[in-house]
Amino acid sequence: MTAVRELYRADRLPVFQNRMYETQAEAHNAPLGDMRLVEDLETGLVYNAAFRPELAVYDEHYQNEQAVSAQFRAHLEEVAEIVTRTLGKHSIIEVACGKGYFLEMLAARGFDITGFDPAYEGSNPAIEKRYFDANAGVQGDGLVLRHVLEHVEDPVSFLRLLRDANGGRGKIYIEVPCFDWICTHGTWFDIFYEHVNYFRQVDFERMFGTVHESGYLFGGQYQYIVADLASLRMPCYDASNAVRFPAALMPQVAQPAPASNGAVIWGGASKGVIFALHCARNGTRVSAVIDINPAKQGKYLPATGLRVHAPGDVLPTLEEGATIYVMNSNYLNEIRSQAGAKFNYIGIDK
């Protein structure tokens, strides 16, 4: 059995932060799982040792489209520039392309691109509703893998499958959340069951013999690398680069201002789900959850059963000076410009 160093524990977290529910009762009965975050002392990788893959079954109710935000679309434009510069536009494959927004953005830029995702629901003929594997019948000069690897139980084996499916060649662009950013900012709400793995730049440098480019995106919350698939290898633990995890990463939620009737949360995705759950567990009442994604509005968050509202359904009911907890400070300016200056905005990751 592999030796590990335990970093963090959290019990009874929703299996899916971005799985929306039609009724409050369904949301209250959402499946839960435990988090036992460990550092593997053979590979140096960080993962949830309590993860049970049979619980994590993705379906059409999974909703994590962020491109409804202008701020996030600007991030995608930056990613598109990096992909263009490092992979080129010819013979590109996007693995697990989701609803196809980024693929279609690249196609509009003149990319020769094919997407694979068994859960895709659209009608774009460039996207195949299946996994990219040895039976795909197509290979690319470059692969794009955005926000997938953190969901995969065995990331090295998964990358090995992609390498072999692509004939052992090609470059790969990988984008994932940045674990160093989580540790530095103490963002306990960014550690959740849906993400099995938590990566640092040094992990990818140990995982690939050839890394062409790497960097940080989205205010440091995300990181990316561009590497040669042929140089993939099993990483080895290096004690000099051991994870520096906060000694006391404890969930904290400030009580809402006395003038308000409860905390108002802006952001019904991953951070908001965990933040709302802790509010419920520490007795802080949440009066409303706001999200601009129409696919989330009217649906219910897992575990807490809180209903997600459109901004226009909540803002007119708030008194001046009411506190709004913004789940991602990257969106502070966008939210302030939309909702106005009369509210008190708190970015929880500041």
Q: Please, are residues 109 and 88 in contact by the beta-carbon 8 Å criterion?
A: no
Residue-level pLDDT, tens digit, the chain, 350 residues: 679 999 999 999 999 877 889 999 999 999 999 999 999 999 999 999 999 988 766 655 565 555 557 788 899 999 999 999 999 999 999 999 988 999 999 999 999 999 999 888 899 999 999 999 999 999 999 999 999 999 999 999 999 999 999 999 999 999 999 999 999 988 888 999 989 999 999 999 999 999 999 999 999 999 999 999 999 999 999 999 999 998 877 666 555 544 456 789 999 888 899 999 988 888 888 999 999 898 889 999 999 999 999 999 999 999 888 889 999 888 899 999 889 988 999 988 76
Which residue shows structure tokens 């759950």?
277
Structure tokens at 37: 């975050």
| pTM of this structure | 0.90
Residue 167 is which amino acid? Answer: G
23-26, long-range: CB within 8 Å, 24+ apart, which pairs? 23/300, 24/300, 24/305, 24/307, 25/305, 26/300
- pLDDT of res. 57: 66
Backbone angles phi, psi at 175, to 5 degrees: -130, 130
- pLDDT of res. 259: 42
Alpha-carbon Rg for the chain in angstroms = 20
Instruction: Delineate the domains of the chain, giving CATH numbers in brackets.
Output: 1-248 (3.40.50.150), 263-347 (3.40.50.720)
Question: Which H or E element spans position 185?
Answer: helix 179-185
- pLDDT of res. 253: 56
